[in-house]
A and B are shown apart, each in its own frame.
Chain A
Amino acid sequence: MGVIETAGLTKEYPGVTALDRLDVTVGEGVTGLVGANGAGKSTLIKILLGLVPATGGTARVLGHDVATDGGRIRSLVGYMPEHDCLPADVSASDLVVHLGQMSGLPYAAARERASDVLRHVGLAEERYRPIGGYSTGMKQRAKLAQALVHDPRLVLLDEPTNGLDPSSRDDMLSLVRRIGTEFGIAVLVTSHLLGELERISDHVVVLDGGRLLQSSATTDFLHATGSLLVEVQGRHDADQVLGQALVDAGLAARPAGDALIEVDIRDERTADVVRDLAVDLGLGLVRLQERHHRIEDVFREGGAGSVQPT
């Protein structure tokens, strides 16, 4: 049984179709939900929480129907909203304890859990200060802590890296990864930055204009088309010389910008051919790495706006 299962899920607002006959199954682990702004990610999350009724189709979360069992679902699910939602005048500690109680924990248990999850998200002494004085990174951590305080079986994280600087973003991403793996809590995480989801997701669902563009394991996205990135030094036109040699050797090679060459992998010997040619030409081989297709290629190749049934 999937953690989330939707069948023909449709949401129509006056004049706009936010979700269009969506069939998605989400399992354990970390699932990325990708889509441009307005693709229907937030609408989907709100329907899954039972906060917004769907206009058609069905959705089940942890085996419960969102239309009839919203309260039960909300007690089993943690939600981290995208926008600001923290009151400025209380401390993260007090807020998370209170919200733990609101999820049904007795007071003593809520205190203990709040202390635990605040430590896990990396809020130390500052947890006792009013949230109004927090940086964006600290606020995001507090928002994540309140989603985890009641030990949910699934967390819905809406753009958790929004507004974070690169190092905070890395921290947040590894935290999300840990929630899905070490904590054993299923994660549905949205982002419009595709590269982030590549790193942490087991599975990626791509939405476009309220429709399902693609849903598959992250590895499928990354290995769908393999090619090598090659960088050589030794002379000013080293890349052109090697590129020509590769083409002469019958390989498909093309410039990949910044004096890099991209070579399609024909078989497992392709890398050897590249190495041997570089040696023969007296060039220094600086880089030889597998080039991974990024999830964004789905948009480029699939043509966002067009629909590919899966």
Chain B
Amino acid sequence: MSSPPEPQAAPTGVIHDLGYRPYAGPRLGERKVAEAFFLTGLRNTYGLGRSARSKVLPMGLLGLMLLPALILVGVLVQARNLLGLDEQIVAYSTYPLTTQVLISVFVAAQAPALISRDLRFSTITLYLARPMRRSVYVLVRVASLTVATFVLIAAPLLLMYVGGLLADLPFGRETGRFLAAIVGAVLLSACLAGPAAVVAALTIRRGLAVAAVIVVLVVSYTVVATIQGISYDSGHESVGEVAGLFSPYTLVNGVQVFLFDSPAATRTPPDGTAMGVLYCVATVLLVAGSIGILMLRYRRIRT
């Protein structure tokens, strides 16, 4: 250790033989980097570019989401005249609520995979030591999760829409309802991904994060649906309408009812303009609030 330094001496016992080649090619700007980050995140949510094992759950859930839609479409196409059907058996706007457990499990499993993982392994340090800003990191992570959730929700809707057209349902009406449902799917994805990302960012241990997101999503929906049922039966419908603000599923369904006059999936959809506006405001607050909390959370992260 105390021998004099020999800068000229060739290092021995090292594997490499080719010299170092500097990189002279193009370097991409902030937008392209963010795009690449977004795509990687989106692919990872479905297990693409990850181990075979991590593909099982998201792909399985996507399959389970599509299965009922496939059956519905089959019945619609084959037995339309027999059963005298002239519209979708299950409304587009109702489908996400029917399959809410599957969606919640997907979000609960993938939010920690995207968000807690970087914190648990401190990989966030390697991102922050690169040009991308913290706020961009947060927004892109949430965007990846939102779009992944959107794909899960919208895929069966698309299947039903195509099936509906094959079954000769009126084109204009179906397209209108479908587009309204797609807007609803965007809102629902954001309303699920935002809070799930917050929970995942605050709960670094993966198992806990999964459980916490499931509790937040499934339990809130169950409680809200129960209150709505009781309030409907006992005639206090305004109680149910207010309760509907507290689960992303009932909240977004209410917005769809208010904005697009979609069929309601709950017993107590928002009634009147004031309540409808309140639903819209609550949706915006939920998404913006989640992102705000995430920004605060990541500002506090020491590298």
Contact = CB atoms under 8 A, between A and B. Distances in A.
A49 B258 CA distance: 50
B28 A104 contact: yes
A308 B131 CA distance: 37
A201 B50 CA distance: 40
Interface in B1-43: 1-5, 7, 11-16, 18-23, 25-30, 32-33, 36-37, 40
A71 B30 contact: yes
A15 B251 CA distance: 47
Interface in A118-137: 119-120, 122, 124, 130
Contact of B121 (A86, A175, A290): A86
A211 interface: no
Nearest to A122: B15
Contacts of B19: 182
Interface in A32-71: 46, 49, 51-52, 71
A294 interface: yes
Interface string A82-93: 011111111000
A183 B20 contact: yes
Interface stretch (A105-113, A245-253, A258-266, A269-277): A105-113
Interface stretch (B122-130, B153-161, B289-297): B122-130
A46 B303 contact: yes
Contacts of B75: none
Contacts of B23: 105, 109, 113, 150-151
B interface: dominant SS: loop
Interface in A198-244: 198-202, 218-219, 222
Interface string A173-208: 011011001111000000000011011111000000
Contact of B13 (A130, A171, A183): A171
Contacts of B129: 49, 51, 74, 77, 79, 81
Given A71-B30, A74-B131, A291-B2, A98 B40 contact: yes
B49 interface: yes
Interface residues of B, number: 48
Contacts of B122: 81, 83-85
A199 B14 contact: no
A51 B132 CA distance: 11
Contacts of A84: 121-122
A174 B30 contact: no
Nearest to B117: A87
A51 B134 CA distance: 10
Interface in A87-103: 87-90, 94, 98-99, 101-103
B27 A292 contact: no
Interface in B29-83: 29-30, 32-33, 36-37, 40, 49-51, 54
B133 A71 contact: yes
Contacts of B2: 195, 198, 291-292, 294
Contacts of A83: 122, 125
Given A113-B23, A198-B2, A104 B131 contact: yes
A12 interface: no
Contacts of A146: 126
A204 to B, nearest CB: 11
B303 A195 contact: no
A178 B33 contact: no
Contacts of B5: 198-201, 218-219, 222
A170 to B, nearest CB: 8
A182 B303 CA distance: 30
Given A199-B3, A222-B4, A294-B1, 12 more contacts: A71-B30, A71-B133, A79-B126, A90-B50, A98-B40, A99-B130, A101-B33, A105-B25, A116-B21, A150-B27, A195-B2, A294-B2
Interface of A: 46, 49, 51-52, 71-72, 74-75, 77, 79, 81, 83-90, 94, 98-99, 101-107, 109, 113, 116, 119-120, 122, 124, 130, 146, 150-151, 170-171, 174-175, 177-178, 181-184, 195-196, 198-202, 218-219, 222, 290-292, 294
Those 4 A-B pairs whose CB atoms lie nearest each other, nearest first: A151-B23, A195-B1, A174-B11, A79-B129
Interface of B: 1-5, 7, 11-16, 18-23, 25-30, 32-33, 36-37, 40, 49-51, 54, 117-118, 121-123, 125-133, 303
27 contacts: A46-B303, A52-B303, A71-B30, A71-B133, A74-B129, A81-B303, A83-B122, A83-B125, A88-B121, A94-B49, A102-B36, A102-B130, A102-B132, A103-B27, A103-B130, A105-B27, A106-B25, A109-B23, A119-B15, A119-B18, A174-B13, A177-B7, A177-B11, A196-B1, A202-B7, A222-B4, A291-B2
